[in-house]
Amino acid sequence: MDLKEKLVSSFMAFENQIDIDSPVHDVRSEAIKTFEQEGFPTKKQEAWKYTSLKSIINQDYSVFPKQENALEYRDIKKYFIHDIDSYKIVFIDGKYSSHLSQTTHEGFDVCLMSAALNKPKYRLVIENYFNKAATKDSLSSLNTAFASEGAFIHIKKNKLVEKPIQILHFSSGDESALMLQPRNLVVVDENAHVQIIERHQSLTDNPVLTNSVTEIFANKRAIIDYYKVQNDRETASLIDNTFISQKQESHCSVHTFSFGGKLTRNNLNFFQNGERIDSTLKGVTIIGNKQHVDHNTLVHHIEPNCESHQDYKGIFGDNATGVFNGRVIVNKEAQKTNAFQSNNNILISDKASINTKPQLEIFADDVKCSHGCTIGQLDESAMFYMRSRGIPEKEAKALLMYAFSNNVLSSVKIPEIKQRITKIIANKLGVNIGFDL
Amino acid sequence: MLKINNLHASVEDKNILKGINLEVKPGEVHAIMGPNGSGKSTLASVIAGKEEYEVQEGEILLENENIDDLAAEERAHKGVFLSFQYPVEIPGVSVTNFMKTAINETRKAKGLEEMPANEMLKLIREKSELLEIDRKFLSRSLNEGFSGGEKKRNEIFQMAMLEPKLAILDETDSGLDIDALRIVANGVNKLKSKDNAVIVITHYQRLLDYIVPDYVHVLYNGRIVKSGGKELAHELEEKGYDWIKEEINA
């Protein structure tokens, strides 16, 4: 039985396990139908031309998580940003781990999707927001069909959440192959502010496939800073589907740091439903071996006077492959739009490759839209300059690559994250640079 | 200090240096002059270890050791410094961080501990004052958006930080106004001692009024065709290079 059949046939059993009267029952039923019709995307589809799921969907994944698996904090501490006080929502093999988490309901909700889906007091929020931003493509639909657990974050009006929220998904390796489908919902009300860090981490080399959906709603003047740390083992794959719906004058940024994993696909979608919205999408990708990272972004400018800023940097070594597909749509009504996009890549091996494609669809006539992409090698004259000052080749390369990624790191607002990312980069490049950028 | 014997070097199969002989002793200042395209910058790059240049014949000895097979950074660790004609812009790396890395990598290569942070700060302060460099300047990205004068002052600042045995100044005077020229020359003169040596590569005699050479060599068509004292520089300034070309061709 292939994975698609397995998932479709598991659906009935899954629905019976949980409340059939749930308000999302119809949504789920609809979603599994979509997935059944469309199946997993193939390279024949334009949006998947350079990314093949073949090698990751041929595993016999366990699709239902078992009971909570105990992990000790000291064993996984290094995956947390542990030097700052934060809220934590931690999952092990898809199950909530209460003893590793620190949630809250005081003034705002940082809790579980399962609670939001099942408790009457959240019914209105679920009705208003659940599956309202996600597109109805096959992978998001697959996630919707099995949506049962993940993070639920609801920040009330005027609330400034001082501590960042960390969402961590661990896979323990107890299953020989595991498929996870976390579902996160983030609702930030008027004038509220929140910072979120998300990470998926496999603890063994057993194959893991995560098909995650995160819906984020930024209401009027809300500010959301979201950081995705992707530094997983080379047996773990991640399809991250993130949908951000913004209302007027809201500011949202998503930083994606892709440093590891077998296959990583980031479907990052911004919808600007209001005026004077600011959307920021930034990413640093540093991969080697046979790793593959695909950034597939969409910014949909629907209303006038909005801005979007995209800046993705990639460094590819060995046989690594990368894809950047940046789509920007500017509706006819969206006059005075400022949309910027840039994608710069360095190939440090002859066998590495990157496919980069800007895709601008502009229907308004009074807009500023720019895009640029570059693919190059490390600057030889800069290398000689640094080496002539006594900096060895390896360190000089590392320094250049740091410098190359620096633009993206400079907009990270949490210093501990910046330090952590800098350390990961140094680690990736196998050097110890004696300073933080 | 430096001894170059019958040096032939090429880049992309083009012969540029065609038998250079040069000896520089500790405490000396040598000027290398010559018309455009004579091979001056190539000579500087070859001594510093730029990989694009291939040495076909001859040898470069630094303190009696052949350095032909050493990488650029290894030559730097042994005390070779090249002040670039066109310093490279490196966005995202500040002047301070660049210098810290350069100094500590050099110390590491010599088996020394990293320089303590307070000592490093003191050194940076001291040397930046010597070159009249503003503190704010040090946190800017290396050479990015620097004026011509700022770039050259920054080169000499790096020289001051690294304290090389052999400094090669490649067209350090180009793009400098008279004030900057004075600051740069003053910096170089203060760094001079009986134990180190300087090679000044220049097209014009102007810089040599400030950094006074012991010897002046004329490089033409890949060879040193004339050597003399500082008065040779004045002669070249007055008469140009044509008379030398004529002498050679005769």
Contact A388 B73 (CB under 8 A): yes
Count, residues in chain B = 250
Count of the separate structural domains present in chain B: 1
The predicted-structure confidence for A343-390, as pLDDT tens digits, reads as follows 999 998 999 999 999 999 999 999 999 999 999 988 899 999 999 999
Model pLDDT, residue A20: 64
Give dist(CA A116, CA A151) in Å, integer: 9
Q: Which chain B residues are closer than 8 Å to A381 by Cβ?
A: 88
Q: How far is A403 from chain B (nearest CA, A)?
A: 4
pLDDT of the residue at A67: 67
Which DSSP helix (H) or strand (E) runs through B40? helix B40-48
* pLDDT tens per residue across span A128-163: 999 999 999 999 999 999 999 999 999 999 999 999
- The whole-number pLDDT of residue A432 equals 63
Model confidence over A16-55: pLDDT tens digits? 776 666 778 889 999 999 999 999 999 999 999 999 999 9
- Is-contact B121 B206, C-beta < 8 A? no
pLDDT at A433: 57
End-to-end CA separation in angstroms for chain A: 50
Largest separation between any pair of C-alpha atoms in chain A: 72
Gap between the Cα atoms of A403 and B191, Å rounded: 31
Q: Does B93 contact A390 at a Cβ distance shorter than 8 Å?
A: no
Q: How far is B246 from chain A, CA to nearest CA, in Å? A: 36
Span A57-68, average pLDDT: 82
Total number of domains constituting chain A: 1
A95 domain-assigned:
yes
B234: distance to nearest CA of chain A, Å? 32
Residues of chain B with pLDDT under 50: none
**Six-digit token string for B175:** 């793009």
Instruction: Report if residue A434 sits inside a domain.
Output: no
For B140-164, write each residue's pLDDT tens digit. Answer: 999 999 998 899 999 999 999 999 9
Select from B90, B91, B104 the Cβ nearest to the Cβ of A434: B104
Residue A261 domain-assigned?
A: yes
Q: Which domain holds residue B62?
A: 2-249
State the CB neighbour count (10 A cutoff) for residue B15: 13
Instruction: Measure in Å the smallest separation between the Cα of A426 and chain B Cα atoms.
Output: 14
Tell me whether residues A403 and B81 touch, CB distance under 8 A: no
**Structural domain range at position A105:** 3-429
Cβ neighbours of A407 in B, within 8 Å:
92
pLDDT at A19: 64
Contact criterion met (CB < 8 Å) for B72 and A434: no
Task: Residue A388: list chain B partners with CB under 8 A.
Answer: 48-50, 72-73, 75-76, 80-82, 84
The rounded distance, in Å, linking the Cα atoms of A262 and A234 is: 4
Answer whether B72 sits within 8 Å of A395, measured CB to CB: no
φ, ψ at A119 (rounded to 5°): -90, 135
In a domain, A121, yes or no: yes
Structure tokens given for A47: 């949006």
Q: Is A283 part of a structural domain of the chain? A: yes
Query: Is residue A436 pLDDT above 60, yes or no?
Result: no
Average pLDDT on A114-124 reads 91
From the list A386, A390, A403, the residue facing B92 with the nearest CB is A403
Nearest by CB: B76 against A390, A402, A403: A390
CB contact under 8 A, B72 and A387: yes
**What pLDDT does residue A437 have?**
40
Please determine, for residue A420, whether its predicted confidence score (pLDDT) is greater than 90.
no
Residue in A with minimal Cα distance to B115: A434
State how far residue B249 is from chain A, nearest Cα, in angstroms.
36
List pLDDT tens digits, range B168-205: 999 998 888 888 899 999 999 999 999 999 999 998 88
